[in-house]
Structure formats: structure tokens, C-alpha cells
Amino acid sequence: MAKKALSFPIYVLNGPTLNLLGTREPEVYGHTTLADIEKMVTVRARSHGLGVVFRQSNHEGDLVDWIQEARIKGCGIILNGAAYTHTSIAIHDALRAVQAPIIEVHLSNPHAREPFRHHSFVSTVATGVIVGLKHAGYLLAVDAIAALLKDNKK
């Protein structure tokens, strides 16, 4: 594994209203809380020898700041931008400046939902996209980043 991967964490960034996971529309998003996801992601990342910085904000600028931080201090980004996925050119532009792998994750499958969720400003700059698998998508995203970092070393 690349040296940067061992010493630099994966940034797992979560957008608006994901703080309410577990109680918010559980039929759509599942019963797992964001704290549960953080624990599972941390364990999975550790199994790959990776650390995690796990954050959530309801504010677009926080997400932009954290993407810029991850650009310098992270080995990859897992982003569930929530509603900002569908609206934010600011997040799109921040991601464009990132060299490390970016995995876009959604708990639900936005393509099977309302038309306003069908467009993503993140997908066009993401390395990969995982949707519709509830919290398991985050764990697969960790595996994907670990595999991509390994491949980069070859």
C-alpha cells in the first residue's frame, strides 16, 4: 500500500439531514444511524490499514472546506452530499481539485426516485458511484478506495 495511504485517512463526508438517519424516513434510508455507520466504516477501514475522518454538516461551505482539507490531508473521499448532490456547483468545483479517489455514496437509489434527484453534480467528478445499498454502500466504498490505492502502487 502507498505510504500516503497508510498515514493519511479516508475522509467520509456527509451532507444535510444525514444527522437524522435512523429516524428520518427509515423506509427510504434504513434504521441505521450515522453514528452506527461511522463505527462500521472505522472498523472496515482499519481492516485495510486505513484511518477515517468522519464528518457531517448541514452547511454547503463546511463540505467545501472539508473537501479542500481532504485534498491535502486525505488518501480518498467518500461523499454522501445528500441534497447538495443535486444542486451544488461549489462542491463539484471543490472535488475537481482533488487528485485522490472519490466515491459518491447514496443510501437510497436517487435514479429510482423523483426526477430532481436524477442529476448529480458529484458523479461527473467521482471515481465511482454506489447507490441504493443503504449503509452497506459506505463499507463497499471503503473497500473500493483501499483497492484503488493498492492499484495505484503497482
**Which span (45-53, 56-64, 81-89, 121-129) binds ligand DQA, by CB under 6 A?**
81-89
- Is residue 133 within the footprint of ligand DQA (CB under 6 A)? no
**Which span (48-56, 62-70, 76-84, 145-153) binds ligand DQA, by CB under 6 A?**
76-84
Q: Kindly tell me which residue out of 56, 110, 139, 149 binds ligand DQA, with binding defined by CB under 6 A.
A: 110
Give the residue numbers marked as catalytic: 29, 106
The secondary element (H helix, E strand) that includes residue 92 is helix 89-96
Rule CB under 6 A: which of 19-38 touch ligand DQA?
none
Unique residue bearing C-alpha cell 443510501: 107
Separation between Cα atoms, residue 14 and residue 149, nearest integer Å: 22
First vs last Cα of the chain: how many Å apart?
Answer: 9
**Which span (2-10, 39-47, 68-76, 78-86) binds ligand DQA, by CB under 6 A?**
78-86
Residue 35 to residues 40, 55, 64, 87, 135, Cα–Cα distance (Å): 9, 10, 22, 26, 11
Q: Kindly tell me which residue out of 10, 37, 78, 82 binds ligand DQA, with binding defined by CB under 6 A.
A: 82
Tell me how far, at minimum, the Cβ of 24 lies from ligand DQA, in Å. 8
Q: Kindly tell me which residue out of 42, 56, 57, 80 binds ligand DQA, with binding defined by CB under 6 A.
A: 80
CB neighbour list of residue 5: distance below 8 Å, 6 or more residues apart:
49, 50, 75, 146, 149
Judge contact between 138 and 131, C-beta under 8 A. Answer: no
